[in-house]
Structure 1
Amino acid sequence: MAGARQESRAEPATADREIVISRVIDAPRELVFEAFTEVRHLSRWWGPEGFTTTTQSFEFRVGAEWDFVMHGPDGTDYSEWISWTEIVAPERIEFLHGESRGDPNAFESVLTFEFDGAATRIEMRTVFPTKELRDEAVEKYHAIEGGRQTLSNLAAYVTDLAGKGAEG
């Protein structure tokens, strides 16, 4: 067909392997970005509702890692590992996330932080190695709802911090 193009809708080739979640947070972009850069912040909000996080090691720079355990509300522990692959403060963070270093099922995530008036629009784009791994994350681990809850926890945390900073 003349003029018809497969990618004319600008849908990425990875669309069937992606999860994209976004949220507008009523806090300055620098503060929202900072919440990812220091373990004292991350341990206060990271993860879905009912989860807690114990950090084993953390360094925020390209090539460095965050090793941690997420504790589920049912008592299950989940070993997690993140390696930071690109950091453009305060605009973008890219990382590889798996159960441990060398995990063949590790997935890539890109977080973007954009001005939205006085607020910040954060987008979390996750690309899995295969469609099957993406589907498993959605169905078995409730990744979409968990991602939304994680961003909700972040929003509550930084909104509270921003309020305390304004008072202080």
Structure 2
Amino acid sequence: MTKTSSGSEPDHTTADREVVISRTIDAPRELVFEAFTQVRHLSRWWGPDGFTTTTRSFEFRTGGAWAFVMHGPDGTDYQEWITWTEIVPPTRIALVHGESRDDPNAFESVLTFEPAGEETRIVMRTVFPSKELRDEAVEKYHAVEGGEQTLRSLAAYVVGLTRNGPGRTEPTPKGAEG
């Protein structure tokens, strides 16, 4: 069973600058967390519907970075950069996400992975530098819908891994389900 919610108790100091998205995934927390730690996983589920991802470099450690290109369904390429600022396996990942390492409009995200019986509840809390940047992300770039689609892709991917047993044979890549 998978559930989605876009609400959570806001931090009132950042409420006008944040987006919170959560989803319960029918997979163990360690596996859901692992899907964020290895590039072979990320490239198979990351991004909204219709997008694919090409990694340029990836180093999953505090202070490390993931440089990648998201390819939109209309053929537009989006240069992306994530710096991992905190990694607490298997409970928490904090990051800064922008178009480049020094992007002044980069936003901060904290992902928490909470056990919920045999399922995992993932909460993605994103704080933008200003209310205007948050509003632009929500209205122009559909940040809430894109975040929900991304977590839905993650859920489908890790549930596929659990179905494939202990060897964890890779499931069908995102967008290639047929």
- The TM-score normalised by the length of structure 1 is 0.93
TM-superposed CA distance for 1:50, in Å, is 0.4
Q: What one-letter code is carried by the residue in structure 1 that aligns with 2:71?
A: H
Letter in 2 for 1:130: S
SS in structure 1 at match of 2:165: helix
Separation in structure 2 between the aligned mates of residue 119 and residue 10 of structure 1, nearest angstrom? 24
Which secondary structure does the structure 2 equivalent of 1:35 belong to? helix
Asked if residue 31 in structure 1 is aligned to residue 41 in structure 2, the reply is no
Deviations 1:74-122 (A, max 9, x none): 0000000000000000000000000001000000000000001100000
CA RMSD of aligned residues (A): 1.4
Give the aligned partner of residue 69 of structure 1: 69
Q: Secondary structure at the match of 1:84?
A: strand
Find the counterpart in structure 2 of residue 119 from structure 1: 119
Q: In the superposition, relative to structure 1, how do residues 10 and 25 fare at CA in structure 2: closer, same or farther (>3 Å)?
A: closer
> CA 1:35–1:130 in structure 2 vs 1: closer, same or farther (change >3 Å)?
same
**Aligned-pair distance for 1:165?**
1.8
| Aligned residue number for residue 109 of structure 1 | 109
Q: Following the alignment from structure 1 to structure 2, what is the Cα–Cα distance between the partners of residues 162 and 97?
A: 29
CA distance in 2, matches of 1:12, 1:82: 26
Aligned to 2:88: 88
% identical aligned pairs = 75
C-alpha offsets along residues 42-66 of structure 1, whole Å, 9 cap, x if unaligned? 0000000000000000000000100
CA distance in 1, matches of 2:27, 2:65: 27
Name the residue aligned to 1:3: none
Could you say what secondary structure the match of 1:151 adopts?
helix
d(CA) in 2 for partners of 1:167 and 1:58?
24
Distance 1:89 1:59 in 2: 15
Q: Which has the larger radius of gyration?
A: 1
The count of corresponding residues between Structure 1 and Structure 2 is 160
Give the match for residue 6 of structure 1.
Answer: none
Shift of 1:12: 2.5
> 1:164, 1:57 → 2: CA distance?
28
State the TM-score, normalized to the length of structure 2.
Answer: 0.87
Q: Distance in 2 between matches of 1:120 and 1:22?
A: 10
